[in-house]
Amino acid sequence: MTDAVASAPGADTRKSARFLYVSAVVFLCAWVLVPIYFLLINTLSSPETVTSFPKPFLPEFDMGSLTFFAGFAGILTALKNSVVVAGMTMVMSIVIGAPAGYALSRFEFRGKGLFRLLILLTRAFPLPLLALPLAVLFIRTGLDDTAFGLAIVHTTLAIPFAVLITFSLFSGIPIELEEAAWTLGCTRLTAFTKVVLPLILPGIAASAIFAFVISWNEVFAAAVLTIENRTLTAFLLQNLDTSPLHLKFAGGFILVVPALIFIFAVRKYLFAMWGIANR
């Protein structure tokens, strides 16, 4: 594959192939980034500019839209609710999911196949639909329109991922490490907390962030299950018909920003998790 082997006529086609390849990569990067840039322009423009025509292709760094967004009745509460629900989802899915990931990676037990099937089934299921019966159930138990109730539904969404990610993380740590700790006098628990836990903590954090993003982005269940305590996605969805454009764009931008940061934080683990999950 080195250029030195290439004969003279081959070098020319190789050069153009290389050019095609690089421009395709650049084009696909632009395909992802340019729409986000457009949203950024709208967010950083005054409300008047947002509805004006033709549009400038550079942001004017006017905080008008964002100030309007922050001052819009109920939106800061919605933002707070989104964070609270996502935080709860994050904690619950890890606390409930991680032990199962550990069990899958370390033990052979009867019913393991069935258990994996249940997890995979959950993933292959239009889960937000379950918000419909849960709405009734929650009214009976007093969980309706609460952050906790919604967090439960979001945890159902996040748990298959939490189990699969932690499963792949634990599988990446040789059991010999734990066994060595046992021979040195650790119990199963202390070996886990002193040897395994420090090693996988970053990975656990990554899968927690992933759970946060799942909840942060979820629209359907949030819109069905909350009325007063709406999350940001539910708030924006229910005001789509009535809210002015600059509110939509500012809201959309606030939704996108954490995504940019979080995907950056978990980028290393994205691929590891799917690699294991497919085996």
- Interface with another protein in residues 39-68 (CB under 8 A): 39, 41-42, 50-55, 57
188 is an interface residue for another protein by CB under 8 A: yes
- With CB under 8 A as the contact rule, which of the stretches 3-11, 65-73, 111-119, 195-203 interacts with another protein? 111-119
Cβ neighbours of residue 42 closer than 8 Å, sequence gap 6 or more? 50, 65, 245, 246, 249, 253
- With CB under 8 A as the contact rule, which of the stretches 59-67, 69-77, 109-117, 194-202 interacts with another protein? 109-117
- With CB under 8 A as the contact rule, which of the stretches 58-66, 73-81, 114-122, 172-180 interacts with another protein? 114-122
SS3 59: coil
SS3 219: coil
Q: How far apart are CA 184 and CA 176, in angstroms?
A: 12
SS3 72: coil
C-alpha closest to that of 236 among 82, 19, 51: 82
- With CB under 8 A as the contact rule, which of the stretches 30-38, 60-68, 171-179, 192-200 interacts with another protein? 30-38
Report the residue from 79, 94, 153, 169 that binds another protein according to the rule CB under 8 A.
Answer: 153
DSSP letter at 110 equals T
C-alpha closest to that of 246 among 119, 107, 67: 67
Closest distance of CB 116 from another protein, Å: 10
Q: Is the Cβ–Cβ distance between 259 and 214 less than 8 Å?
A: no
Residues in the interface with another protein (CB under 8 A) total 95
207 is an interface residue for another protein by CB under 8 A: no
Closest distance of CB 76 from another protein, Å: 18
14 is an interface residue for another protein by CB under 8 A: no
- Residues in region 64-93 near another protein by CB under 8 A: none
- With CB under 8 A as the contact rule, which of the stretches 59-67, 100-108, 173-181, 200-208 interacts with another protein? 100-108
132 is an interface residue for another protein by CB under 8 A: yes
Q: Which two tokens stand for residue 121?
A: 């089934």
170 is an interface residue for another protein by CB under 8 A: no
Dihedral over alpha carbons 143, 148, 153, 159 (to 10 degrees):
-140
Closest distance of CB 219 from another protein, Å: 4
CB-CB neighbours of 39 under 10 Å: 17
The smaller minimum CB distance to another protein, of residues 67 and 109, is found at: 109
Report the residue from 152, 165, 200, 211 that binds another protein according to the rule CB under 8 A.
Answer: 152
Q: How far apart are CA 219 and CA 231, in angstroms?
A: 9
Q: Is the Cβ–Cβ distance between 119 and 168 less than 8 Å?
A: no
103 is an interface residue for another protein by CB under 8 A: yes
Q: What are phi and psi of 232, to 5 degrees?
A: -60, -45
- Residues in region 228-257 near another protein by CB under 8 A: 233, 236-237, 240-241, 245, 248-249, 251-252, 255-256
136 is an interface residue for another protein by CB under 8 A: yes
